[in-house]
Structure 1
Amino acid sequence: MHTTKVPAGIVSALGVTQIIGYGTLYYSFSILAPGMARDLGISLEGVFAVFSLSLFVGGLSAPFIGRRMDRIGAATVMTLGSALAALTLVLSAWSPSVPLFALAIVLMEVSSGMVQYQAAFATLVESEPRTAARSITYLTLIGGFASTIFWPIAATLTGYLTWREIYLVFAALNLLVCMPLHFWIRRDGRRGAGRGETRLRETVVGALAPQARRRGMVLVSLAFSLSGFTLAATLAHMVPMLRTIGLGGAAVAIGSLFGPAQVLSRLINMVFGKSLSPPGLAIVSAALMVAGAVILGVSGDWLPGAVAFAVCLGLGSGINSIAQGSLPLYLFGSEGYGAITGKMAAARLATGAAAPFAFAAAMNHVGTTLSLFAIAALSTLGILAFVAVAVAASVRRDGVA
């Protein structure tokens, strides 16, 4: 029986571009934001408000980007996205006023949707649909090092360069490293088609029956949005929140556990998670985030409880990234994958953009403990939505069998 291999070259190339893409366009922003605020003469809160706006607009652009990926190819979109990312970084570095800076950051987030996980997952589905779920796991494991690599890089560079000069360096990385790699992936796919390979004609059939797809789309989008809200809210306020509940100087050390836990969960899934279906993966992911919020809410300033919170959140986040790519493929198949994931990303990113403000307001009005229980309840609703979809998919598969 023929076994399709994971396209190791494409996964490795995308791993490099995901580290650069997330590192330059997302993770470095928090390090460079104080310099931006001083240079532009606005508050730090104002800089982050611009970033939140850009996340919201990026979410709105996701369905359009997804449809373009289906039409012209995800690797082509990623190639164009690298050029746009470089252009927006240069525009940000040049911007002489706050309105132009805000426009550049918003456009940068649109370019992010063209080069980050949504597009990378679609590229893997186009390349080898039948091994895409495994490839997505490998890719997220590599991409998980983006913050580990680029937070120190950005922090070190601030000692030698201004934020504007750093953005010019980042623009060069996107233009000279990411764009050629994306172009190579695009050409590799076209060469395969020219050799008459059948991989581009292979498809994965979704587990949901056609009449259940609309309901499934609503439920999965809702579930990912609720989990994304919990993740965005807690990540944005993690260190200040831990300090507020009485953990003081340990807050930064506890928060730093999130990244390693995120990578660890992907490694565990890669080695031991082959028997767990994508719906099961999504349920475990959401359950870990609920557990983290509840543990912190109950334990308060108890150090082991805070450690367990950070680890659970990291484990859940790591698996969540895999589920975002593999669950739509499992439920809906490979046809129209870009458009489907684009719609889901729109709901998730728009909700996530509002989460930091909503959670801050909740903590100010009802306190940290009740706010944690509230987001745990929201994520529990997400678990129920994932379970409902898993049951529907199981019924279809049993019926087919």
Structure 2
Amino acid sequence: MHTTKVPAGIVSALGVTQIIGYGTLYYSFSILAPGMANDLGISLERVFAVFSVSLFIGGLSAPFIGRHMDKIGAATVMTLGSALAAFTLALCAWSPSVSLFALAIVLLEVSSGMVQYQAAFATLVESEPRTASRSITYLTLIGGFASTIFWPIAATLTGYLSWREIYLVFAALNLLVCMPLHYWIMRDGRSSSKTDETRTREVVVGALELQARRRGMLLVSLAFSLSGFTLAAILAHMVPMLGAIGLGSAAVVIGSLFGPAQVMSRLINMVFGKSLSPPALAIVSAALMVVGAVILGLSGDWLPGAVAFAVCLGLGSGINSIAQGSLPLYLFGSAGYGAITGKMAAARLATGAAAPFAFAAAMNHFGTAISLFVFAALGTLGILAFVAVASSARRDRVT
């Protein structure tokens, strides 16, 4: 009988590469953006506009990347992605003009799609399809420390190095740490498939019948897009928004609760969440984010309300990352997993790219409380879409 243990070595290696991948390519940007703006002679808003456009284009590249994961292997894509990430970080560091800087940031987001969660989840599904859901939980638990580690690292480095020099350090991390680890996973997968022929036939069958898959795909993409839109909007403005409603210096402390809450939700799910199906997990994650937004909208500058908001948002976001990997596997199976998650990522990232602008505009016109209620309503539509998917999957399992 074929063993289905969680591939601890691969999960650990991917944990390291996810911390570096998210830390260098995503979380550090907000810390380094003021230095970029000063150096390039443009406004901070313009730097973030470039970042938003790059997130949108990065999202559009996700289906193409997903298809190639199925063709040549997710670990191969991740190895190439590490090389591209290192190259584009170096290109950013060198860029003598705003236009070349913008191009480099766009390429950076494309490389992000090749090395971050979407690719890592596909690698775990390829490695051990039957334990992939558990492996995804373990991986997101490790990856949750990316912001906790890299925000302080980036902030400390700005005291000694320019943003260009910091990006060269980050390029070296992607080239010398991430690329060899991804290459090792790729080689390990190839050698395992040669020695163990049953691996190539081992698949997870999806809960949805073939005729229900198109509707399921649309519903899941819509649900993740709506909940992701709500999260991206609020997260981008979290600390300034808390300060603006009257929480002053406490805003940073309250905002910092988000990261630990994310990790805590993944830990709770790892220990107690075995009885929850992926559709139920997705519903809980979307509901927590909506509840958080409603609490803040109602409580205003009341400190316990703001704390509850940050914790709920963090808990929901943490579980959401797990659901993004485990729900497509549960519904559609392991065959063609890369292409399926690529399409979903495109919808989620493309809509999420516009979220910070939309929320800022809403706050300017309607105020913080009403904006939170509007975005909570969008998140509620996401919950309803997840509920529809769950009932459809249950019906197909029964029949």
The reply to whether TM is greater than 0.5 is: yes
Q: Deviations over 1:66-85 (max 9, x none)?
A: 00000000000000000000
Q: 1:244 deviation in Å? A: 1.2
Q: Distance in 1 between matches of 2:147 and 2:196?
A: 40
2:160 aligned with 1:131:
no
Counterpart code for 2:72: I
- The TM-score with structure 2 as length reference comes to 0.99
- Structure 2 Cα separation of the partners of residues 344 and 161 of structure 1: 38
Rounded Cα–Cα distance in structure 2 between residues aligned with 1:113 and 1:360: 26
User: 1:174 aligns to what SS in structure 2?
Assistant: helix
Q: Give the conservation status (yes or no) of the 8 Å contact 1:69–1:338.
A: yes
d(CA) in 1 for partners of 2:273, 2:187:
33
Cα drift, residue 194 of structure 1: 1.4
Task: Structure 2: state its 5+ residue gaps.
Answer: none
State the distance in 2 between where 1:269 and 1:263 align. 10
Letter in 2 for 1:145: F
Rounded Cα–Cα distance in structure 2 between residues aligned with 1:143 and 1:3: 26
Amino acid at match of 1:15: G
Whole-angstrom distance in 2 between the partners of 1:315 and 1:262? 5
**Distance (Å, rounded) in 1 between the aligned partners of 2:199 and 2:246:** 56
The equivalent of 2:248 in structure 1 is: 248
> Which SS does the other structure have where 1:301 is aligned?
coil
Match of 1:219 in 2: 219
User: Tell me, what secondary structure is at the counterpart of 1:395?
Assistant: helix
Shift, 1:201, TM fit: 2.1
Whether the 8 Å contact between 1:63 and 1:343 is mirrored in structure 2 is yes
Partner of 2:52: 52
For 1:236 and 1:116, the matched residues in 2 are separated by 19
Residue 324 of structure 1 aligns to which amino acid in structure 2?
Answer: Q
- Structure 1 residue 243: Cα displacement: 1.1
Q: CA deviation at 1:3?
A: 4.6
Give unpaired runs (5+ residues) of structure 1. none
SS in structure 1 of the partner of residue 284 of structure 2: helix
Does structure 2 retain, via aligned residues, the 8 Å contact 1:127–1:200? no
1:42 corresponds to 2:32: no
Alignment of 1:23-38 (within 5 A): 23-38=23-38
- Code of the residue aligned with 1:394 in structure 2: it is R
- Counterpart position of 1:346: 346
Match of residue 175 from structure 2: 175
Partner Cα distance (1:46, 1:102) in 2? 10
Rounded Cα–Cα distance in structure 2 between residues aligned with 1:302 and 1:269: 30
Residue-by-residue CA offset, 1:248-280 (whole Å, 9 max, x unaligned)? 111010000000000000000000000100000
> For residues 275 and 394 of structure 1, what CA distance do their matches in structure 2 show?
15
Q: Which runs of structure 2 are paired with 1:59-74 in the superposition (5 Å)? A: 59-74=59-74
Q: Which runs of 4+ in 1 moved over 6 A?
A: none
CA-based RMSD of the aligned residues comes to: 0.7
Question: 1:47 & 1:8 partners in 2: Cα distance?
Answer: 39
Structure-1 residue corresponding to 2:110: 110
Query: Within 5 A, what are the aligned runs for 1:224-373?
Result: 224-373=224-373
Q: Distance in 1 between matches of 2:218 and 2:8?
A: 34
Instruction: Give the partner amino acid of 1:70.
Output: D
Query: Whole-Å Cα distance in 1 between the matches of residues 223 and 173 of structure 2?
Result: 35
Percent identity reads: 88
